[in-house]
Amino acid sequence: MDFALTPEQTSIFDMAYAFGQDAIAPHARQWEQDGTIPKKLWPEVGALGFGGLYVSEDAGGAGLSRLDGTLIFEALSMACPAVSAFLSIHNMCAKMLDSFADAPLKDRVMPGVLSLDTFLSYCLTEPGSGSDAAALKTRATRTNEGYSLTGTKAFISGGGYSDAYVAMVRTGDAGAGGVSAVYVEDGTAGLSFGALEDKMGWRSQPTAQVQFDNCNIPSTNLIGEEGKGFKYAMMGLDGGRLNIAACSLGAAQAALTATLAYMGERQAFGKSIDQFQGLQFRLADMEIDLNAARVFLRQAAWKLDTGAPDATKHCAMAKKFVTDAGSRIVDQCLQLHGGYGYLADYGIEKLVRDLRVHQILEGTNEVMRVIVARDMLKNR
């Protein structure tokens, strides 16, 4: 069993880390205050090939493995987890299009998606259906030209900001089998947005309701087959869970690195506080948790890449374990900074706020436990 990254994977990580430190980290606090990420950033990210990480090389994408992707999101999250997670959402949508859209739709939209001139949002959650996503009510009614959409999506990262929306809508009866996936371009008549949400974290990532009011789209904007949209959406979530775990991992690593530096400089009772054994124990515990999380995440990514039958279970376990560990670590880093950790200047409080939502989205950590338990009971 080889735990070493290949030279290519090391280069991928280093490239993403360097870009994050140069183009994202110096601006992350200002973007949070502004409540948005400048759109001019995305073509720069696209130039690195990060607009279609999992899109096949034949279609112009990077064709990377899920393990490769976790390295990129870990590295970018060392600069800002909110920006990194936003890019993860775009890539989940891009993978859905590459995997399931027909050739004419891909020919029309994928060049912009890959260059990141077209930024994508993922629209599944609704005001009344979060964890029970299959209960969604947004309706797509057949018209002569295609579909008329009516309904509301909630908590949409990029709502009112993105260039297009991959939306799960009901074309059939109740339940998962009545859900289809459609592509809705910004500016389509009947598409509107709620006010920006005032959030605890991810504040640089604009979030709003996406509203469809007799929003008419052509039949060519159907992604794949009618009735299979929920299946498509769920297939994307295993990878999304790995990515959000990687975002927690990178942010926690950045917090621990900053805390080590701070503790070496901060003096108390005549010596630097990293010399107190009680605080050294805390550092050791965080290092152990961080390394355990990293190994667990990479094992789950390997399982997904190799098509292991228990990949979904491992993705759920990794998402729960890593996001819990990440939140615990950044909270401890704030504590070790003392009062300074509570100040925005030191950057730790932002990480505490940003990482809190990772335990909720891509399936709550309670749902992750349900997935794991059901698999255990099924195989007993």
CA atoms within 13 A on the CB side of 272: 11
3-state secondary structure of 237: helix
Assigned token pair, 270 = 């005549």
CB atoms within 10 A of CB 319: 33
Distance CA 139, CA 150 (A): 5
Strands (E), the chain: 120-123, 139-142, 146-157, 164-170, 179-185, 191-193, 207-218, 222-223, 267-268, 271-272
Reply yes or no on whether 32 is catalytic. no
For 10-43, the pLDDT digits (tens) are 999 999 999 999 999 999 999 999 999 999 999 9
pTM of the model: 0.95
Closest among 164, 168, 146 to 216, alpha carbons compared? 146
Catalytic residue among 32, 126, 349, 362: 362
Spell out the domains of the chain, with CATH numbers in brackets.
7-115 (1.10.540.10), 120-227 (2.40.110.10), 231-378 (1.20.140.10)
Find the radius of gyration of the CA atoms of the chain.
Answer: 21
pLDDT classification of 132: cutoffs 50, 70, 90: confident
Angle in degrees, 0-180, between the axes of helices 81-100 and 348-356, rounded to the nearest 10? 30
- Sequence-distant (6+) residues with CB within 8 A of 122 are 89, 92, 93, 156, 157, 165, 166, 236
SS3 category, 167:
strand
Coarse DSSP helix, strand, coil percentages of the chain, rounded to the nearest 5 percent = 60, 15, 25
pLDDT in tens, 333-355: 999 999 999 999 999 999 999 99
Altogether, the residues listed in the chain come to a count of 380
Identify the band that residue 258 occupies on the pLDDT scale cut at 50, 70 and 90: very high
Q: What is d(CA 151, CA 146) in angstroms, rounded to the nearest whole number? A: 17
Distance in angstroms (rounded) separating the CA atoms of residues 114 and 107: 12
Diameter of the chain measured on Cα atoms: 80
CA atoms of 291 and 244, how far apart (whole Å): 17
What is the residue-averaged pLDDT of the chain?
Answer: 96
